[in-house]
Structure 1
């Protein structure tokens, strides 16, 4: 009887141990399965909506920042270019205002006088004096007509100055008139009484403004070789020719 009970007890113990072993195995299997499940979100993080939104947000932020910087840079460049253009224009305008030039000198803003000179012989001196409140520019040379001449008096091209003569208020410009050229041949010499003075425009075509009408000094004798210089800033420069 004792032997049977011992075997029965041993069998019961074996059953209990087998059950415990099975339970332990199931626990180990569940633990492993749980560990793998917990790890899946980490391995799949890049494909999660939150992660995707974060990635897109970063890309958008970088794109926006880069675009803004580029746009701002271009805007600054454009602004500087425009500003530079405006500044250049402003400077030009200020220079013009500073000089106070009212344009070409004409009979309306200058007083014109013609006079005899001792040297050189057969010369007259034409003087214009600015009677206005702003400077004027004496362009080219005076356009002269003696009495009823049908053409203007020849201009001495060698007398052309390096720049236009600007005449400030109260100041003068000068031109010398050669009454005759080299002697010889029939030059149709005669005594002239009147002189008309027209003024050249900036573009050098035709005349501009009011002409001056002058009475020549007594016994002014001129011929077809008469000529006039460009306007000069001094009488001595004009009478060099």
Structure 2
């Protein structure tokens, strides 16, 4: 074999070896690329999932933020409305207070007006005395003097009970005044009492030394009778309370 042939083969072998190395290098690069591709794909997938998640999370956060902002806006709006409502309520409260004050003032005024009106007399307000009079015959004069500090109104007539009587005497309707008799402090009202029939026509007569007169509030005045008491029978009659003594003795 010649030297030239040997060099040719050696060159060819070297060429093949270089080609093999080049191919191996190419395959290596492809393998690395292939290996790195899954590796790159995995991060890509992860990145794809993560951004998606992030986007989803971001979207959720964004939505949440929006919702939060919306809630905050609603809360702010509600707060604003609440503040306005509170202000309105406050104004209403002020108006209500003013109205209440006005009502109280009106009530107070009515109370003051009512307090100016005379009240009903009671046994604690008046002192009643009984006096025998010569005319008319068999008559007794009752005098009710106001010992209090305010004017008071006497009952229509004295519901006089003599002794142990179970009923009060009738009243003479002809003596009824136009209105109740009021007595100012220190002044008096008068009522007449027909004790018995002057012609002796009365029945069931008896003598007594006690007289009580009840008032509308439940109080009772005890009246001292003349010494020796008085004689009464079925003719016993009283008059309405009068402002004038003569009107009380006219029956």
Q: When the two structures are superposed, what TM-score results if normalisation uses the length of structure 2? A: 0.52
Say if 1:145 and 1:87 are closer, same or farther in 2 by CA, change over 3 A.
same
Alignment check: 8 A CA contact 1:129 1:171 kept: yes
Q: Which of 212, 215, 223 is equivalent to 1:212?
A: 223
**Map of 1:167 onto structure 2:** 183
Going by fraction, where is helix more abundant, 1 or 2? 2
**Map of 2:216 onto structure 1:** 201
Q: Which of 81, 85, 88 is equivalent to 1:62?
A: 81
Alignment check: 8 A CA contact 1:117 1:124 kept: no
Aligned positions, number: 185
How is 1:67-82 mapped onto 2 (pairs within 5 angstroms)?
A: 67-74=86-93, 76-77=95-96, 79-81=98-100
Which consecutive aligned stretches of 4+ in structure 1 deviate over 6 angstroms post-superposition?
Answer: 47-52, 181-184
Say if 1:132 and 1:54 are closer, same or farther in 2 by CA, change over 3 A.
closer
- The Cα shift of 1:200 comes to 1.6
**Map of 2:23 onto structure 1:** none
Gaps of 5+ in 1: 1-46
**Map of 2:144 onto structure 1:** 128
Say if 1:67 and 1:117 are closer, same or farther in 2 by CA, change over 3 A.
farther
Gaps of 5+ in 2: 1-65
Q: What secondary structure sits across from 2:142 in the alignment?
A: strand
Q: What secondary structure sits across from 1:196 in the alignment?
A: strand
**Map of 2:133 onto structure 1:** 116
- The Cα shift of 1:171 comes to 0.4
Q: 2 CA distance for matches of 1:160 and 1:89?
A: 36
Going by fraction, where is strand more abundant, 1 or 2? 1
Say if 1:89 and 1:160 are closer, same or farther in 2 by CA, change over 3 A.
farther
How is 1:12-27 mapped onto 2 (pairs within 5 angstroms)?
A: none
Alignment check: 8 A CA contact 2:208 2:231 kept: no
Q: 2 CA distance for matches of 1:54 and 1:129?
A: 81
Say if 1:48 and 1:92 are closer, same or farther in 2 by CA, change over 3 A.
closer
How is 1:141-160 mapped onto 2 (pairs within 5 angstroms)?
A: 141-146=157-162, 148-156=163-171, 158=173
How is 1:32-43 mapped onto 2 (pairs within 5 angstroms)?
A: none
- The Cα shift of 1:173 comes to 0.9
What's the Cα RMSD here? Answer: 4.4
**Map of 2:241 onto structure 1:** 231
- The Cα shift of 1:122 comes to 5.1
Q: When the two structures are superposed, what TM-score results if normalisation uses the length of structure 1? A: 0.54
Question: Which structure has the greater CA radius of gyration?
Answer: 2
